[in-house]
């Protein structure tokens, strides 16, 4: 892949003494939507956090646009053009919806402006003056996605954006992911729900016990169902 | 003679304005402590010593450089703020992630060192700083006569508290500060240089203390103990208002000053203890403080 945006090789990560990631290898090309599937505790969140520089002890190689980021501080990784939408959403209670939206600094041109974001997520406009954590779960998720679309980061790491949300909201998030792909954003998406993943992604990595154990193209997904059921235990 | 509950009205007014003046200092100092505690998780015991340094820097500016009061109100907080920045970068930063207790002990030690050095240099009685010419004399309000300088202290402190509150609640920088107080790692992962924000916040909190120190300089003598006399009440203010609450420290600061003033009128024997009585009652009824969010 010549247009490789993210290349992860032999990524290891620890929480204290627990060795969580044990050599993760994955690639994401510019403009792709790639998912990371796997059971609870497989290390998906830890992978995204390690790419973002949020895990204290990590080793191996993470290259973004050809530059090594494994030893960088998280703010410098963000400035290079990677943004995270965390699993717990990370909406700030002491900030209004609008302040939450405007919090992440713009790191590069090419992000979506506020009117465009309000078009994508009309609820955020209506409730822009509310306290961030007064929003419903679905609205908080939209806010968490919207605020990283503003920054101009080209690689978006989304950690289970559909978790615990009603089907209509899941559909809206699916539409959003397809829309941002069309605008040329690159997405690495953690999912438990591979039915949802199949509607948005180009490829799927499967993770078990802190390593990648398989890679499935979305076109081959139908033939790989048995294998996937085994991996995910569903 | 007009009286209220058996006390002369003029005595009441006098003690109330004195209470407001004291309250102004409680508010300014506890505000800085609250901002620092919120972001750094450090209980800054050096706050009183830095307040005292502010007063001495104002005195030094006048004595050695001929720089007067009005300029000192800006210059001294900047000088002491820079000292705070250095203190954070060189010492406090190393305690990041450790228990509160370490920060408390370190800053307490800093306070002792700073105060000891100043006592060595200037003795315990300190030096005199004159009230600036424009603020000398009485202010006749019609119903009472008030030393002009006291009125100025209340106005200046209220203005500074208001400005700080607006900065924190209404600006983008303030939103970033509030967010970092909630979840610093996430704010940093958005591209904010949080370590620099921490350093600047400490410097700004310290500058507030120094501003209060300059305001205090003409009131009594500028002496090495002026901070430690005040800081105990200020810590009580912080506890009553709720650790880390901005609005809480401002309201509580002025409120406690007024309560102290009233106690001086109606029960002078209790005026030294009333703050702690309030503190005990608040802690029993609302352990997180009046404005604090329960953990
Ligand atoms: N902060 C932490 N401290 C210690 N262990 C953790 C921490 N976060 C996650 N873990 C452990 O790391 C492993 C991987 O977790 P995670 O990356 O969250 O998995 P996933 O996102 O795939 O469900 C789990 O065994 C989990 O218990
Ligand atoms: Mg997870």
- DSSP codes of every residue in chain B: --EETTEEHHHHHHHHHHHHHHHHHHHHHHHHHHHHHHHH----TTHHHHHHHHHHHHHHHHHHH---HHHHHHHHHHHHHHHHHHHHHHTGGGGTTS-HHHHHHHHHHHHHHHHHHHHHHHTTT-B--PPPGGG-SEEE-SS-EEEHHHHHHHHHHHHHHHHHHHHHHHSHHHHHHHHHHHHHHHHHHTT--HHHHHHHHHHHHHHHHHHHHHHHTTTS-B-TTHHHHHHHHHHHHHHHH-TT-HHHHHHHHHHHHHHHHHHHHH-GGGTTTHHHHHHHHHHHH-TT-SSPPP-
- Rounded to two decimals, the ipTM of the complex is 0.93
Q: Determine, yes or no, domain membership for B52.
A: yes
* CA atoms of B34 and B237, how far apart (whole Å): 10
Residue of chain B nearest A150, judged by CA positions: B190
A45 lines ligand 1 (CB under 6 A): yes
Q: Report CA(A14)–ligand 1 centroid distance (Å).
A: 10
pLDDT at B75: 97
- Span B93-103, average pLDDT: 87
Chain A residues touching residue B178 (CB < 8 angstroms): 92, 94-95
Q: Which atom of ligand 1 is nearest to the CA of A190?
A: 21
Give me the percent of chain B exceeding a pLDDT of 90. 62
HSE (side-chain half, CA atoms, 13 Å) at B42: 29
Chain A residues touching residue B188 (CB < 8 angstroms): 73-75, 78
pLDDT at B1: 65
A38 lines ligand 1 (CB under 6 A): yes
Evaluated on CA atoms B269, B272, B274, B276, the torsion sign reads: negative
pLDDT above 60 (res B214): yes
A55 lines ligand 1 (CB under 6 A): no
More confident residue, B3 or B187: B187
**Residue B266's pLDDT band (boundaries 50, 70, 90)?**
confident
Query: Cα Rg for chain B, rounded, in angstroms?
Result: 19
State the maximum Cα–Cα separation within chain B, in Å, rounded to a whole number: 67
Partner-chain residue, chosen from A77, A102, A148, that has the shortest CB–CB distance to B172: A102
Residue indicated by tokens 């465009």: A116
Structural domain boundaries, residue B102: 3-285
Give me the percent of chain B exceeding a pLDDT of 70. 99
- Determine, for residues A92 and B183 on separate chains, whether the beta-carbon distance falls below 8 Å: yes
A182 lines ligand 1 (CB under 6 A): no
pLDDT above 60 (res A216): yes
Chain segment B229-240, per-residue pLDDT in tens: 899 899 999 889
Beta bridge pairs of residue B140: B145
Chain segment B58-77, per-residue pLDDT in tens: 999 999 999 999 999 999 99
A195: its two tokens = 């039915």
Mutational test site, ligand 1, from A13, A35, A41, max ligand atoms within 8 Å of CB = A41
Chain segment A111-156, per-residue pLDDT in tens: 999 999 999 999 999 998 899 899 999 999 999 999 999 999 999 9
Kindly give the interhelix angle for B274-285 and B246-266, rounded to the nearest 10 degrees: 130
Residue of chain B nearest A156, judged by CA positions: B190
Chain segment B238-256, per-residue pLDDT in tens: 889 888 788 888 999 999 9
- Determine, for residues A94 and B179 on separate chains, whether the beta-carbon distance falls below 8 Å: yes
Q: Report CA(A46)–ligand 2 centroid distance (Å).
A: 7
pLDDT at A33: 96
Chain segment A40-76, per-residue pLDDT in tens: 999 999 999 999 999 989 999 999 999 999 999 999 9
Residue A208 backbone class (left: φ over 0; alpha: ψ -120 to 50; beta: rest): beta
- Span B202-215, average pLDDT: 96
- Determine, for residues A92 and B185 on separate chains, whether the beta-carbon distance falls below 8 Å: no
Antiparallel, parallel or unpaired: β A18-29 and A33-38 = unpaired
Chain B residues touching residue A107 (CB < 8 angstroms): 191
- Where are the domains positioned within chain A? 4-232
Q: Determine, yes or no, domain membership for B239.
A: yes
Chain B residues touching residue A86 (CB < 8 angstroms): 186
Answer for the pair B116, B225: CB distance below 8 angstroms, yes or no: no
- Span B77-102, average pLDDT: 92
CATH number of residue B215's parent domain: 1.10.3470
A42 lines ligand 1 (CB under 6 A): yes
pLDDT at A234: 67
pLDDT above 70 (res B295): no
Starting from the CA of residue A49, give the closest ligand.
Answer: 1
Q: Determine, yes or no, domain membership for B290.
A: no
pLDDT above 80 (res B293): no
User: What average pLDDT does the structure give for chain B?
Assistant: 90
**Residue nearest to ligand 1 atom 13, measured at CA:** A41
pLDDT above 50 (res B189): yes
A95: distance to nearest CA of chain B, Å?
Answer: 6
Residue of chain B nearest A79, judged by CA positions: B191
Given this structure, which CATH class describes domain A4-232?
alpha beta
- Work out how many domains chain B is built from and give that number: 1
B189: distance to nearest CA of chain A, Å?
Answer: 5
pLDDT at A2: 47
The closest of B13, B28, B16, B19 to B215, measured between CA atoms, is: B28
DSSP single-letter state for residue A42? S
B245: distance to nearest CA of chain A, Å?
Answer: 12
A234: distance to nearest CA of chain B, Å?
Answer: 32
pLDDT at B294: 57
pLDDT above 80 (res B80): yes
Partner-chain residue, chosen from B179, B188, B191, that has the shortest CB–CB distance to A107: B191
Give me the percent of chain A exceeding a pLDDT of 90. 83
C-beta atoms surrounding A34 within 10 Å: 21
């Amino acid at each position: 892949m010549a247009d490789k945006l993210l290349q992860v090789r032999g990524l290891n990560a620890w929480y204290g003494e627990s060795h969580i990631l044990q050599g993760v290898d994955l690639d994401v090309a510019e403009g792709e939507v790639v998912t990371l599937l796997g059971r609870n505790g497989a290390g998906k969140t830890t992978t995204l956090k390690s790419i973002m520089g949020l895990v204290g002890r990590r080793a191996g190689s993470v290259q973004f646009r050809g530059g090594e980021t494994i030893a960088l501080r998280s703010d410098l990784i963000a400035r290079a053009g990677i943004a995270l939408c965390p699993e717990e959403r990370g909406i700030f209670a002491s900030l209004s919806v609008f302040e939450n939206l405007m919090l992440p600094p713009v790191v590069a041109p090419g992000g979506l402006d506020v009117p465009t974001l309000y078009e994508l997520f009309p609820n955020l406009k209506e409730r822009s003056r509310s306290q961030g954590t007064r929003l419903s779960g679905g609205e908080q998720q939209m806010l968490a996605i919207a605020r990283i679309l503003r920054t101009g980061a080209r690689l978006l790491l989304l950690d289970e954006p559909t978790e615990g949300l009603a089907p209509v909201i899941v559909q809206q998030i699916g539409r959003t992911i397809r829309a941002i792909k069309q605008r040329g954003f690159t997405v690495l998406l953690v999912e438990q729900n591979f039915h949802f993943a199949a509607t948005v992604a180009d490829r799927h990595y499967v993770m078990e016990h802190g390593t990648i154990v398989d890679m499935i193209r979305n076109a081959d997904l139908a033939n790989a169902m048995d294998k996937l059921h085994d991996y995910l235990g569903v | 003679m007009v009286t209220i509950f058996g006390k002369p009205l003029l005595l009441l007014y006098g003690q109330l304005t004195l209470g407001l003046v004291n309250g102004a200092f409680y508010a300014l100092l506890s505000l800085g402590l609250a901002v620092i505690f919120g972001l750094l998780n450090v209980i800054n015991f050096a706050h009183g010593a830095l307040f005292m340094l502010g007063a001495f820097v104002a005195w030094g500016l006048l004595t050695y450089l001929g720089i007067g009061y009005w300029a000192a109100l800006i210059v001294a907080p900047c000088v002491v703020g820079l000292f705070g920045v250095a203190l954070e970068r060189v010492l406090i930063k190393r305690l990041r992630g450790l228990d509160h207790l370490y920060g408390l002990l370190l800053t307490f030690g800093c306070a002792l060192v700073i105060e000891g050095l100043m006592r060595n240099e200037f003795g315990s009685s300190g030096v005199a700083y004159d009230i600036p010419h424009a603020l000398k004399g009485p202010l006749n309000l019609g119903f009472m006569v008030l030393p002009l300088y006291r009125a100025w202290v209340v106005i200046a402190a209220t203005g500074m508290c208001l400005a700080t509150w607006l900065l924190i609640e209404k600006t983008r920088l303030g939103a970033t500060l509030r967010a970092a107080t909630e979840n610093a790692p996430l704010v940093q992962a958005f591209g904010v240089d949080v370590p620099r924000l921490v350093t600047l916040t400490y410097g700004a909190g310290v500058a507030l203390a120094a501003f209060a120190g300059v305001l205090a300089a003409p009131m009594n003598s500028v002496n090495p103990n002026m901070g430690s006399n005040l800081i105990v009440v200020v810590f009580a203010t912080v506890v009553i208002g709720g650790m880390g609450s901005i609005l809480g420290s401002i309201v509580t600061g002025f409120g406690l000053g007024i309560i102290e003033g009233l106690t001086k009128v109606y029960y002078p024997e209790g005026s030294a203890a009333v703050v702690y009585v309030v503190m005990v009652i608040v802690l029993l009824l609302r352990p997180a403080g009046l404005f604090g969010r329960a953990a």
